[in-house]
Amino acid sequence: MIAKEISKTGLGKTLKKRLGKSRRNRAEVNIGKINKNTKQGETIVVPGKVLAEGALDHAVTVAAMSFSKNAVQKIEKAGGKAVALDAFKSAKNVRVMA
């Protein structure tokens, strides 16, 4: 589930721990929270689902287990990328948001 490149890093350990929870206890993060807590060009990993509540006014790369359809549209409209966690490649300065 987690890309091999990041599975041995601190990020990989954090994700393994959070993804080991039941689906009911996984994070749900709104676009508005991502907008408030990120800067232009950052990479964010959400060990759960990204929802479309709020607005995004800068480009970020978001990797998550799943996205609502509207969340993907808002991320791409702002110039960012929505990436499935399975396809995520490690990057520098990645933050986990839950």
Lowest mean pLDDT among 25-29, 30-34, 42-46, 67-71: 25-29
21 found inside a domain: yes
- Angstrom CA distances, 5 to 13, 14, 28, 53, stand at 12, 14, 25, 32
- Which of the two residues, 62 and 16, has the higher pLDDT score? 62
What is the rounded average pLDDT of the residues 51-71? 95
- Determine how many CB atoms are found less than 10 A away from the CB of residue 65: 20
Give one DSSP letter per residue of 56-84, joined into a string: --S--EEEEEEE-HHHHHHHHHTT-EEEE
In a domain, 3, yes or no: no
CA distance readout (Å), 92 to 25, 49, 71: 27, 22, 24
Question: Is 16 among the domain residues?
Answer: yes
Partners of 48 in the β-ladder: 27
| Position 16 pLDDT exceeds 80 | no
pLDDT at 96 over 70: yes
Q: Around Cβ 24, how many Cβ atoms within 10 Å?
A: 5
Domain count, the chain: 1
Cα separation, 59 vs 65, in Å, equals 19
Mean pLDDT of 69-92: 90
- Asked, for residue 5, whether it belongs to a domain, the answer is no
Specify the CATH number for the domain of residue 75.
Answer: 3.100.10.10
State residue 2's pLDDT score.
38
Residue 78 falls inside a structural domain: yes
Residue 72 lies in a domain: yes
Give the domain range for residue 41: 10-96
